[in-house]
Chain A
């Protein structure tokens, strides 16, 4: 627990135009950790990811990756620093086929998965590699969105609600993939509303409310905190 965090967020504020959405968010992720961000609809989870990636440009505070400041970087340099982004809306391109979608993000570092490894992990994608990206089912699109950033050698992947709207078997599959990634030492920042899913992989939880971090606790405390979570998440 004493090692310096891989990703360090301090006092992050962010705005959509004039509307102030994040209020001093703090967040740490150590190498190899899976950290899950919980919070009800509109709490600011997606905004936190977008602000870290630099997609949302109006930000103040500190975002450091291995001590390197990300806040001053242009958007396309952030991925090169080692972040891989799997957006909530998945972002599969209709004008690209599955294999083009997979190959789209440029490599950012050594050590990404090879295309063969990816197709072994996601056999469906291999079968449908020449289909139009958006012709895939929702679950397949989600897998493609994840697969796409595994190729690049990103050190941290930011996953925004990968199970949203998917059938239980697919959720199970995605859970297996995350467990596999964790085994390989990938660092993951996961946004989830489904904490039954998140408990399988999360080392730690952060709880967000109204653009603020209101709580943080280790994964094994999840059960003891169920009542409290039910109340905050309103589920």
Chain B
């Protein structure tokens, strides 16, 4: 589905990502974990076409997307749940969800998807005519996930979807992630909550200062003493 090869990304003189290679296979949930500033968001934003890489290759379903614009990449089937949510605060909840389906033209299916989002997230139905910015952080996060799903993406990237949320809401978010995966959407998940991420993921990569430090099935990393010491606390 997604193949990243020898990716390097710089901000001016800062090398944020160096020689990063990894792969996400269709149907998999892949997690990228790492400390603050490790380059996780940079990686996702580069895949999403918002930053152009200094070098390296990004392939989505075998097609090189590293030179494409963000909106073009979205049309190829990538949906993003960005860090900090990026709610369109002045648009209504329903408008946010509809814009999630902006790239689609199958009007009837869009209406059906909208209804099923309202069923899955009843709070969004209650708030559908309200400005999205008026909802709580957890509700906004649900909406942004729903908005991304409205695109019927082939690949969904999530950048720290649990950030700043109460434990109960975090659990809900991870339940939803499990559901999405059951629907066959391929997921690339970036998390600081490594414990949770390794629970839902099939495969995981650990980033340290812009470089790949570990790559292994999530189940193995969960038991690796070095990972436990560095990322899983206690």
Our verdict on whether A and B bind, yes or no, reads no
**Could you list which residues of chain B lie within 8 angstroms of chain A, going by C-beta atoms?**
none
